[in-house]
Amino acid sequence: MPARTAACRGTSTPLRASACSSAPTWTATARSTPPMRRPRRRRRPPPRIRTRRPPPRAERPTGGTKTMHAPGAGAWGLVLACAMVPHAGAVERFHREPVLGTSLELQVAGTDAATAQRMLAEALDEIARQDAVLSGWRADSALARLNAGAADADPPAALREVLVACEQWRARTAGAFSCRLGALAGRWRQAEAEAALPERTALRRAARAIDAARFDPQAPALALPDGVRMDVDGLAKGYILDRTLERLRARFPQVRGIALDIGGDGAYWGEGDDGRPWPVVVADPAAPEDNGDSRGIARLRVRAGAVAASGHSSRGYRVGRRRFSHILDPADGWPVVYAPSATVVAPDAATADALATALTVMPIRDGLALVDGLPGVAALIVGEQGVPFASARWSEHLDPAFAGTVPARRAQPCRLQVDYQIPGIEADRYRNPYLALWIARADGTPVRQLLVLGDRGRWLGELPAWWRHYGRNDPAAAQGIARPTRRPGAYRVGWDGRDDAGRAVAAGAYVLHAQAAREHGGRESLHLPFDWSAQARAASARGHAEIGRIDLRPVCRTD
């Protein structure tokens, strides 16, 4: 994971900004002392050592880059990039560790240093209070007592609330997210210690029994079914972030903004020192940098909400020479393989935390559909080989300078409407065709996948042009977005003028690519050039066999 810079470690050392850039970092410098001059032969008193004093607090630079580590997120980290704005009322920053087994970063805008220190104390007190209830690593926690088999007639409110949320997310994700995996995780820790893999059939039977067990977290007395042990790590940290931020806002209403991060999950409210929503940089999971990748693959602005990330690169089980993800598939108890990483923006940290885990287990198309159906939630899923898949509202959370602007007519953004036909063909053994539609630049560089029909992975390679760009290097991600084939008929998809990562593309010349292949039939490709601008015109083309008519029509909201 990228290492935090010294500016985020809460030291008393004066901070000096490095050379100005779009994403400045801070380095620590001690109070400088010029070297003593060598005395001449004639004895003289040694020169006086002058020490440069640090500037007053209000004049000290306040910018920097904070890397937010996500245990379990592997290389999939977040960076809170704070603008360099040296003025009174600057952001007060604190770093503490260990906190919940990781590190804490607290930033407060619009208050004095003494108040910020009191806020830090309040935050640490609330975190410790919740940890005493929800920790799965402390023998004296309320959760540990429940897992040990003790029924609790009067459980702490936090424990009941978290378990209720766990079961709700288990239902919403069709079992992809589950807090019932404590016993299965224990088997994998035992496998690490013994350097021997668990027996897979036995593990699958145990996973099915755990899934089928009846458990009501709202029962008057809490008690776990036989064989079930709760591991709430996938949601508890988000819950603790929410409660801590809630307490800080209630007790210190005069502050302008709060940013709280624990181990890579962040909760944000208000504005930073630049008077804008808090900036968060999503690091590239395929190319992490130990010193904090301030460029990242996405830049967010969050005024009131939370961001969580999950992945597989840095944490996991090592059994002998083999390494496995720490995220278990609840269906069989086995670590997920070829799984994507995910970053989620949500109104609260518990939601972001749970979804970030679930999206690494669910097929990509199902995960995006779930996210798009939840109000105020957006996500960016990145396949194992770095191909991004953005949810419908992801671009709304991007920093406007990073997101860019799509062509507009009378201040209304435009979209490209794509109507396509799957022709009916008379054949004895007719099968619905596999079909891929994607946008590319004029030089062939892929920009955005629009549609993939055909959910049997072994046949996706029959679409060679699409496979070469998207599927060959990441078959699991390709299969994860593919949908079932469709019968002959007329259908429609749309393009919002953004690339796979949610950024607006520049106006200019582009090409719609269509490729179809059919079992016991033929294969066909069609290229339809078009101009993408506010003045773009409609275009159309027709295939000869496997592809029917395709019509492109720019649509602005005023049309």
Which sequence spans correspond to the domains of the chain?
111-220+229-402, 414-556
At 480, list the tokens.
């994860």
Radius of gyration, alpha carbons of the chain:
27
| Residue 138 near residue 233, CB atoms below 8 Å | no
Residue from 554, 514, 325, 505 nearest 434 by CA: 514
Backbone angles phi, psi at 435, to 5 degrees: -145, 140
Other CB atoms within 10 A of residue 376 CB: 14
Q: pLDDT digit of tens for each residue in the chain (559 aa)?
A: 333 333 333 333 333 333 333 333 333 333 333 333 444 444 444 333 333 333 443 333 333 333 333 333 333 455 544 332 333 358 999 999 999 999 999 999 999 999 999 999 999 999 999 999 999 999 999 999 999 998 889 999 999 999 999 999 999 999 999 999 999 999 999 999 999 999 999 999 999 999 999 999 999 999 999 999 999 999 999 999 999 999 999 999 999 999 999 988 999 999 998 889 999 999 887 665 555 556 789 999 999 999 999 976 667 899 999 999 999 999 999 999 888 999 999 999 999 999 999 999 999 999 999 999 999 999 999 988 888 999 999 999 999 999 999 999 888 899 999 999 999 998 888 999 999 999 999 999 999 999 999 977 778 888 999 988 888 777 777 877 889 999 999 999 999 999 999 999 999 999 999 999 998 889 999 999 999 998 989 999 999 999 999 999 999 865 4
CA 452 to chain centre: 24
The partner residues of 415 in beta bridges, in order of sequence, read 555
CA distance to 282, 400, 406, 482, 504, per residue, from 403 (Å)? 13, 5, 9, 26, 6
| Residue 313 near residue 274, CB atoms below 8 Å | no
Residue from 496, 509, 494 nearest 413 by CA: 496
Backbone angles phi, psi at 201, to 5 degrees: -65, -45
DSSP state of 2: P
Q: At what angle do helices 233-251 and 349-359 cross, to 10 degrees?
A: 160
Question: What's the CATH fold of domain 111-220+229-402?
Answer: T-fold (3.10.520)
β-pairing, 278-282 with 78-82? Answer: antiparallel
DSSP state of 32: P
For the entire predicted model, the pTM comes to 0.82
d(CA 107, CA 432): 56
